[in-house]
Amino acid sequence: MKLSASISTIRFLNLNSLSVRSYPSSIFPSFKTTMTRFANFSIQISNSSPANTAEDSQVVAPSKPKPKPKPPPQQPWLIVGLGNPGKKYNGTRHNVGFEMVDGIAEAEGISINNVNFKALFGRGFIGDVPVMLAKPQTFMNASGESVGAIVSYYKIPLKQVLVIYDDLDLPFAKLRLLPKGGHGGHNGMRSIIDRLKGSRDFPRLRIGIGRPPGRMDAVNFVLRPFNKEEREELEFTFQQGIEAVRILLLEGFDKSATYVNSAKAIEQLG
């Protein structure tokens, strides 16, 4: 590189005093000769002031991406089995709701030994769905006191409240899953509907216990235990009911209802 012959003055920046001094080029006779020896040397001239250069050299950190908002927590299901507390009623027809909930608890590893809301109560998961299991201890006819309190406290949508109970009008060991309905003369369901301000819009799983033989009073019939043959058949029904509840929570009501209400449902368990 050759310096232009028109350069007549060489300026030096005094860093200590931040001043510029000018000298005639004749004072440095060898400057031109020295620079010509570096053919590949280049000089970049900037019009920026020291302040601007420092400002331009600042590195702006990239903005961090905003975290995605977390989805709201999933509402739990409440699964209620109806029955009467006490050893006197263990194994009776009126307590099949209790037995079904016990089966669900055992299958899913959920403890229901806590007493809360006038019920034996437990919390856990079926798959990745949070669930609450409850067996009201108020006696059948006042079941709504327990169920209504749980629904109100946890603000559970009624479409996620499943009530399991015995039904005289279904053939023995048959299941029926419905999205809503009346109490059908069942006092436990009557109490629950009353405590839910008259709403009937919650699913229910009915377990058939058959009609009383001859002229036997219905009250006496529902408090009778099952015989050996009935008990063996009922075990298949409980297994079907456990699977139906899994399908309901994980795949939806329609698939569960198809499974439960199909005549082939019990055959699928074999």
Which SS3 state, helix, strand or coil, does residue 170 take? coil
Q: How distant is the alpha carbon of residue 133 from its chain centre?
A: 16
pLDDT at 255 over 70: yes
The predicted structure's pLDDT at residue 121: 97
Catalytic annotation, residues: 94
Q: What count of other Cβ atoms lies within 10 Å of the Cβ of residue 86?
A: 10
Angle separating helix axes 228-251 and 96-108, nearest 10 degrees: 60
Q: Rounded to an integer, what distance in angstroms lies between the CA atom of residue 235 and that of residue 45?
A: 93
pLDDT at 252 over 60: yes
pLDDT at 27 over 70: no
Q: What are phi and psi for residue 8, nearest 5 degrees?
A: -110, -15
Apex CA 145: angle with CA 194 and CA 238, to 5°? 90
Q: Do the strands 129-136 and 77-81 form a parallel or antiparallel pair, or are they unpaired?
A: parallel
Three-state SS string over 199-265 comes to CCCCCEEEEECCCCCCCCCHHHHHCCECCHHHHHHHHHHHHHHHHHHHHHHHHCHHHHHHHHHCCCC
Q: Rounded to an integer, what distance in angstroms lies between the CA atom of residue 81 and that of residue 91?
A: 14
Task: List pLDDT tens digits, range 188-228.
Answer: 999 999 999 999 999 999 999 999 998 899 989 999 999 99
The predicted structure's pLDDT at residue 122: 97
In this structure, what token pair is assigned to residue 76? 């739990």
- Cβ contact 107:124 at 8 Å: no
Torsion-angle region of 65 (φ positive above 0: left; ψ -120 to 50: alpha; else: beta): beta
Task: List pLDDT tens digits, range 174-185.
Answer: 999 999 999 999
